[in-house]
Amino acid sequence: MKPKNLCLVATVMALSMVTGLLTSSGTAHAVLPLVPHYDCYNIIPLGPPYVPAHLTLETQFGTEEVTSAPNYIDLCLPAQKWVPVPPPGHWEGDPNVPHVACVPIAGRLALKVVKLTTQFGVQKNVVVGSPIEACMPANKAIYPGEPLPPVPAAPHYECFQITGPSPSELPSSVLVKDQFLTASAGTTVELGGPTRLCLAAIKNGHGNLNVPDVECFAITSGPAVDKFVNLLTQFPPVPTATEFHVGGPPRELCVPVLKTVVTGVGGIQNLPDIAESAAAAESSGGSSSLPYAAIAGVAAGLVVLGAGGWYARRRWLS
């Protein structure tokens, strides 16, 4: 992307963020869903690659063709999470929702500013950037030869890199349970900041846009696992189980999220030239000044998103 276009995107998004801050929403309060929750682990494929190079994904942001890596690198297990507030706390999540396996993808920038609400609080003016993963239903067997049922049609997700504030009530640690972390009292994991926003998707005609979106948060400390699993997904056309190694602690906790789009940019090529807009404002006696603090903040967010895309590509190629 040309430097001029980067400045233009930052300017338009900054102005839109200011508009969003000054505009109150009259929509009715939506109920935050309690499922699904996921613990996501890095996985290493031990079999041949078999994910198609091109996928068609439809989300609330639109439909696009994305390029995928040849194999999955993340496995997200259905999880339960202990919410300590308000006392006495309770478990949330459903251990019986489908697993999802995630593959790195490359696609176009979303260029959205959103407000996110989870059980951890509210995040305003979150910038949504590049798509980084496509996640799809999977069945998992820990023991070789264990029979696997047919793969469910949903959920599918398209996950995007995000940057912005952490939720106002994000705890430093939570208790979780999944099929790897089975302690009856739960296992403590330490939480970091938000990492990605995963939107319900339809992939190659399969999926459901009405399942809840999820937001994922980094797990900075947790117990390591060492498992070999077979995964069954919708690829290849005749499904077969492929073996993967799961090593290390879970890397992300994903929770249900409510998303409100504050603003979005419909495409860089459709935006007016910033120099021409400034000249027009000056010639009409208007001011060409801009909210530079907001511009700097969004520009910094775009730099972080670019770094996140670079990191995803490094993981893809490593």
C-beta separation of 104 from 67 below 8 A: no
* ω into 86 cis (within 30 of 0): yes
Domain contains 198: yes
Surface-to-core class of residue 35, CB atoms within 10 Å of its CB (0-12 exposed, 13-18 middle, 19+ buried): middle
Domain contains 66: yes
Please give the chain's pLDDT, 318 residues, in tens: 444 444 433 433 443 443 344 333 334 457 889 899 999 999 999 888 778 889 999 999 999 999 999 999 999 999 999 876 666 677 899 999 999 999 999 999 998 999 999 999 999 999 999 999 999 999 998 877 777 888 999 999 999 999 999 998 999 999 999 999 999 999 999 999 999 999 999 999 999 999 999 999 999 999 999 999 989 888 865 556 778 999 999 999 999 999 999 986 543 223 333 233 333 333 444 433 333 333 334 444 444 444 444 344 444 444
Q: What's the distance, CA 213 to chain centroid?
A: 9
**Where in the sequence is the domain holding 262, given as residue range(s)?**
30-266+292-317
Domain contains 167: yes
Domain contains 176: yes
Whole-model pTM: value is 0.77
User: Domain tally for the chain?
Assistant: 1
Domain contains 14: no
